[in-house]
Structure formats: C-alpha cells, structure tokens
C-alpha cells in the first residue's frame, strides 16, 4: 500500500498546500534576490562614481590647475627673452593671460576646492566625509517596515540573537562562529532584511517536515507548517514592496539622475573613465609644456626642447604642430596661436564634462572613416573570449554591425550583433550566465576594426531576432516551475514579429471583460479596493500594460501590475500571477536601460 493511500484527505490537502506555498516562496525569494541585487549594484555604481569624481577627477583637476599656473608664469618669463618676434610675444602674452585665469574648470571645481579647504581646516578627511554623506543619503532613501512588521522582525532577531550570542559558546571555534552570526544578524536587523533573518531561522532553528514519511507528522504539524510558510511569504512580499520603493526612491533622487546621465553617456560612447583618461593626457601635455618653457628660461633663449615640442606635435597629437590641417607649414605666430587656443580656452571643455555627468545630452556622431557601416555583415577574425564563458572563442562568429564608436585611445570599436547561426553555436553556459546577469548575449562590444572582415549575410535581421528571443525566453524563466515558465514562454513567443508587451496585449484582449479584481496597493490607491477591468487601454514604457479600470463608479487608466484576482483559485489569478512575474523582469530591464544593471 502506498503512503498516499494511507493518508487522510485532509493530510493530502495540507501537503499539497505546503508544496504550493514552498514553490511560491521560492519564486518570490528569487524576485526579492533580483531586486536586492539591482539596489546593491546601483548603490555600488553611485559610490564608484562618487569616488572617481571626488578623488581621481578632482585630483587630476588640481594637478592640471597647478601646472596651468606654472605654464602661465613661465610664459611671462619667456616673454622677457631677447630674439622673439612681435607675433611670438603676442602669442605668449595671450597664453599667459588665458592660462592665468582661474575659471578653467568652472563652478563645480571651485565648490569642490572650497569644501576641501574647509575640511582640511577643521581636521576632517574630505574623502571619508564624502563617504559618510553618501551613506546618510542612502539611509534617507530606505523604506522602513511598518510598526507591526518591525515588532515581528525584532522577535525573530531576539530569538536568534539570544540563541547564538557569543557568551553562549562552549568552544573558541564556536565563539568565533557565533560572533560572525551576530554580525550578520545585526546587519540584517538594521536594514529590515527579513529574508536573511528567516533564512537563518530556518537553517538554525527550524526542522523541515519530511513529507515522504507520514509517520513523522500529524495534521496539526502540517497546519503549523502551513501557517509558518504563509507568514514567511507575507514577510517576503512586504520586503519586496519595500525594496521596490527604495529602488524608486533612489531612481528619483539626484543620485539616480546623475547615474542615469552617466550611463546614457556611456552607451553613447563616452564614460567617466574617458574623462579621466583625457585629463591624464592633459596633465602630460601641461607637464611637457612646463618643462619646455622652463628649459627656455634657464637657457635664456627659446630652447631646442621647446622647438621639438612645437615642431614635433607632442601636445597637439596626431601630427607635427608645425603644420596646419591642410598640410602647409605654419608660421611661428600660427603655431603659438594654436598652442594658446589648445592649452587655454575658457574652461568650456571641463564644464561640458561636468554637465555631462548631470544630464549626458549627446547627439549621434557620424563615423565616416569607419571601414564597416551599420547593418553590414562581418566575421570576427580574432579569438576574442566571450564575456560570460571564457573558454568560448568568438573567432569566425558572424554578425551585423549595430554600433561604432571611438575608444579612449582614438581607435574605432564596433558592436556586433551575432546572427542566428552564431547564436546556435554559443555554448549553453554562455547564454545561461548572460541571462542570469541580465546581459545581452547577442551583442558583442568593443571589437577593434582590425579584428573584423566583411562577409556575406547568412540570415535576415528578422531571423536573427527570432533566434535571440527563443533562446532568451528558453532560459529567462528557469527559476519558475515548469508549468508557469511554459505558459509565459507561450504568450511571449506567440508572434515573433511582436515584442513582449504586444504579445501580452493580444493575449489579454481574448479575455471576457469586465474582469473582477482588487488593488494590490503598490501605488496611491488603498490595498484590496475592489475594481473592474473594462478593457486594455494601451502600453506604457515604464508601467507596462495599462487597463481601463472602474473603481467605485469612477473610470480611469491604471497599470495592470498593481491588480490581483479576487478569487485566488481562478484562471484570472493564474494569468495575473504570470503577468506579475513577467512585469517584474520587464521593470528590471527598463531600469537597466535607464538606471540599474
């Protein structure tokens, strides 16, 4: 006789409820993990930008300002040397006047200098204070649990903390382990991280029920397990809501605006690292000019070092300074004018860079000198390693050029979108890892021109796109149970010519309206408010599918992601649950494009 036959209907029902709750909990934990990763990555990115801005960029600005003033002072000394033409003197005077000004880097730099001076005067570390302010800003964006949930979280924390306090350790090794646990507990409690506390409670204090052994439990034990799982699921759902809101708070803050601007700039071929590299080049240029002018002052005449610098083209880059753009020889006056313009200016370049950090407004630049144009089919000739599968060489892979930009060395770099044949050749691990990290496994960035050759196309762009979507959705939903994953795939791949939202709209439009639902409460409408979906309205880039909703006699447009079925056992509940899983991923992708990766 099988174990199932010996169990009562009530037992079987409760076992099924436990399995369903466990599966749901697994899915929601996966969602929470993704949200927490996005939030952490965004904070790390902001801290990195803050570090580069307050240390490397500002330090480079300080060094360039020092060198600029040195060059200006030396130019004045060279002016006093004999043998200079009237034109040379005018050019040197212009250089001295221009470089002697103190507005090269604009107001942002002046504010930084003033803040740093104040910190040094008061004995504070400027960098440490900046980090502390960043932590305070992040803390201010946190969403705290409500009063009741905070009490529940504290109960779990106190129970674990008392059980594993270092004073209760019996050995030195155990004391060390308890100390590490206590640190983890404190961190989780301070951040309202109920998921970590629950995981520790389950691991350290809770005995899991063995459903394969009916003698190991009773109906009451099963009911207790159900209640524990339901409570844990409620905790996880609440933390999901808090993390979502914290992500939104960060995105809407000045920090979020800054990071959005920088990421947009990076996509358009210009990053903060490029700015650093350019300033390092500027430091080198100023250093060479200072040394050449200094040499002239010491010799009492225009030195060979200075002439080598001017005629050899060091600071100008790309060719001798002694020749104009049309290749004709430049006069001394023209050389000095060019040098003064290059070294002096009015600080507009740096102000543009600082403005870029705030709003990153760029226009597309043509690359007329590019050997390969967009949409052209090319083959990779170098054994480039695939980013997420180092053992996978991309040599002989074929794709289409989708973007071209200059890197910080002035070299043309291409982004190649792999065709359907190459996609089928990618190792499974490469696709799985890329999907897990929310990375595009089709587009390969940073390929140099010398590592590509033109070739004949092996498919159409549409065929390539279809292959990509099939592979993407094959692996994207692997964290869900098979039935739900298959339902979502079927909807999203109904029409390969349409995107995810369009396929969802087509699917939802087949339902019999009106649909009886309730508000989840993620937005401004109170939770559990009864409503009716009258029809599908349209699609929104940020909020997904928008429906025409009737609430207490009022009709308006409302995002579908904040709606749930009233009947949890209905087909509609399954559909909205599937949509919720899809929207969670969709909103992450949107944030990746705009702010989070």
Q: What integer pLDDT is reported at residue 592 of this predicted model?
A: 43
* Residue 439 near residue 423, CB atoms below 8 Å: no
Residues 586 and 536: their CA atoms lie apart, in Å, by 18
- According to DSSP, residue 374 is labeled T
Residues 504 and 566: their CA atoms lie apart, in Å, by 21
Tell the burial category of 11 from Cβ atoms under 10 Å away from its Cβ (0-12, 13-18, 19+): middle
Give yes or no: residues 390 and 340 share one domain. no
**Assigned token pair, 118:** 């104040």
Q: Which of 476, 495, 512 is the last residue of a domain?
A: 476
Q: What integer pLDDT is reported at residue 34 of this predicted model?
A: 76
Is 20 inside a domain boundary? no
Neighbours of 571 (CB within 10 A): 10
Residues 6+ apart with CB under 8 A from 75: 92, 93, 95, 96, 99, 293
Is 162 inside a domain boundary? no
Residues 213 and 207: their CA atoms lie apart, in Å, by 14
Rounded-to-10 torsion of CA 337, 340, 343, 346? -110
Enumerate residue ranges in the chain where pLDDT < 50.
1-2, 313-366, 591-597
Q: Which of 447, 476, 505 is the last residue of a domain?
A: 476
Per-residue exposure over 459-472, b if at least 16 CB sit within 10 Å of its own CB, e if not: beeeebbbbbbebb
Q: Please, which residues bridge with residue 540 across strands?
A: 544
Give yes or no: residues 394 and 466 share one domain. yes
Find the domain containing 432 and state its range: 377-476
Is 98 inside a domain boundary? yes
Chain centroid offset of residue 483 CA: 31
Is 203 inside a domain boundary? no
Q: Which of 476, 498, 525 is the last residue of a domain?
A: 476
Give yes or no: residues 283 and 335 share one domain. yes
**Assigned token pair, 502:** 């369009």
Give yes or no: residues 554 and 529 share one domain. yes
Residues 353 and 429: their CA atoms lie apart, in Å, by 40
Is 523 inside a domain boundary? yes
The DSSP element (H or E) to which 389 belongs, if any, is strand 389-393
* Residue 559 near residue 501, CB atoms below 8 Å: no
Helical H runs in 477-558?
482-492, 500-508
Chain centroid offset of residue 186 CA: 28
Is 278 inside a domain boundary? yes
* Residue 51 near residue 273, CB atoms below 8 Å: no
Residues 216 and 45: their CA atoms lie apart, in Å, by 50
3-state SS string for 71-95:
HHHHHHHHHCCCCCCHHHHHHHHHH
Residues 222 and 229: their CA atoms lie apart, in Å, by 11
**Assigned token pair, 40:** 């952490």
- The number of domains in the chain is 3
* Residue 570 near residue 420, CB atoms below 8 Å: no
Phi, psi of 239 (to 5 degrees): -70, -35
Q: Which of these, 10, 9, 12, 30, lies nearest to 20 by C-alpha position? A: 12
Give yes or no: residues 412 and 492 share one domain. no
Q: What integer pLDDT is reported at residue 572 of this predicted model?
A: 94
Q: Which of these, 63, 97, 96, lies nearest to 77 by C-alpha position? A: 96
Is 448 inside a domain boundary? yes
Is 410 inside a domain boundary? yes
Give yes or no: residues 281 and 320 share one domain. yes
Digit-coded pLDDT (tens) for 208-255: 555 556 666 677 878 888 888 888 888 888 888 888 888 888 877 777
Q: What integer pLDDT is reported at residue 117 of this predicted model?
A: 67
Whole-prediction pTM: 0.48
Q: What integer pLDDT is reported at residue 439 of this predicted model?
A: 77
Q: Please, which residues bridge with residue 554 across strands?
A: 551
Give yes or no: residues 383 and 441 share one domain. yes
């Amino acid at each position: 006789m099988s174990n199932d036959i010996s169990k009562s209907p009530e037992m079987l029902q409760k076992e099924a409820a436990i399995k369903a709750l466990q599966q749901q909990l697994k899915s929601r934990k996966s969602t929470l993990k993704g949200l927490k990763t996005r939030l952490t990555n965004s904070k790390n990115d902001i801290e990195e930008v803050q570090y580069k801005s307050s240390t490397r960029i500002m330090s480079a600005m300080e060094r360039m300002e020092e060198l600029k003033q040195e060059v200006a002072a030396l130019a004045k000394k060279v002016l006093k040397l004999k043998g200079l033409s009237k034109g040379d003197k005018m050019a040197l005077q212009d250089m001295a006047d221009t470089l002697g000004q103190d507005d090269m880097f604009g107001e942002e730099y002046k504010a930084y200098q003033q803040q740093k001076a104040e910190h040094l005067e008061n004995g504070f570390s400027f960098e440490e204070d900046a980090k502390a302010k960043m932590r305070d800003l992040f803390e201010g964006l946190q969403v705290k649990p409500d009063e009741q949930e905070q009490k529940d979280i504290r109960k779990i924390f106190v129970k674990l903390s008392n059980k594993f306090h270092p004073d209760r350790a019996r050995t030195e090794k155990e004391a060390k382990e308890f100390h590490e646990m206590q640190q983890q507990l404190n961190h989780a409690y301070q951040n309202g991280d109920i998921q970590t506390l629950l995981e520790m409670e389950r691991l350290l204090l809770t005995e899991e029920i063995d459903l394969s052994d009916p003698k190991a439990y009773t109906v009451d034990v099963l009911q207790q397990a159900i209640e524990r799982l339901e409570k844990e699921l409620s905790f996880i759902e609440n933390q999901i809501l808090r993390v979502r809101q914290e992500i939104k708070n960060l995105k809407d803050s000045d920090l979020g605006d800054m990071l959005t601007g920088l990421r947009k700039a990076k996509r358009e071929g210009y990053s903060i690292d490029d700015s650093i590299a350019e300033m390092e080049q500027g430091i080198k240029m100023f250093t060479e000019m200072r040394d050449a002018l200094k040499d002239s002052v010491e010799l009492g005449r225009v030195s060979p070092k200075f002439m080598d610098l001017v005629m050899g083209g060091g600071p100008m880059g790309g060719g001798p300074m002694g020749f104009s753009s049309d290749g004709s020889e430049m006069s001394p006056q023209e050389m000095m004018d060019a040098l003064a313009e290059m070294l002096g200016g009015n600080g507009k370049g740096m102000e543009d860079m600082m403005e870029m950090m705030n709003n990153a407004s760029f226009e597309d630049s043509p690359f007329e000198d590019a050997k390969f144009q967009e949409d052209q089919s090319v083959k990779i000739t170098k054994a480039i390693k695939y980013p997420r599968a180092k053992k996978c060489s991309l040599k002989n892979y074929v794709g289409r050029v989708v973007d071209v930009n200059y890197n910080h060395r002035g070299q043309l770099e291409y982004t190649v979108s792999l065709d359907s044949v190459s996609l089928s050749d990618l190792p499974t691990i490469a696709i799985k890892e890329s999907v897990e990290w929310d990375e595009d496994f089709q587009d390969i960035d940073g390929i140099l021109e010398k590592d590509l050759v033109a070739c004949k196309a092996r498919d159409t762009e549409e065929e390539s796109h279809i292959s990509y979507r099939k592979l993407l959705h094959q692996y994207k939903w692997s964290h869900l149970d098979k039935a739900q994953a298959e339902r979502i795939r079927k909807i999203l791949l109904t029409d390969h010519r349409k995107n995810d939202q369009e396929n969802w709209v087509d699917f939802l439009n087949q339902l019999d309206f009106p649909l009886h639902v309730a508000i989840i409460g993620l937005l401004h409408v109170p939770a559990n408010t009864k409503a009716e979906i009258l029809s599908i309205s349209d699609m929104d880039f940020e909020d997904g599918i928008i429906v025409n909703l009737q609430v207490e006699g009022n009709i308006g447009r409302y995002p579908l992601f904040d709606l749930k079925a009233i009947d949890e056992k209905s087909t509609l509940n399954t559909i909205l649950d599937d949509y919720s899983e899809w929207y969670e991923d969709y909103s992450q992708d949107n944030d990746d494009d705009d702010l989070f990766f």
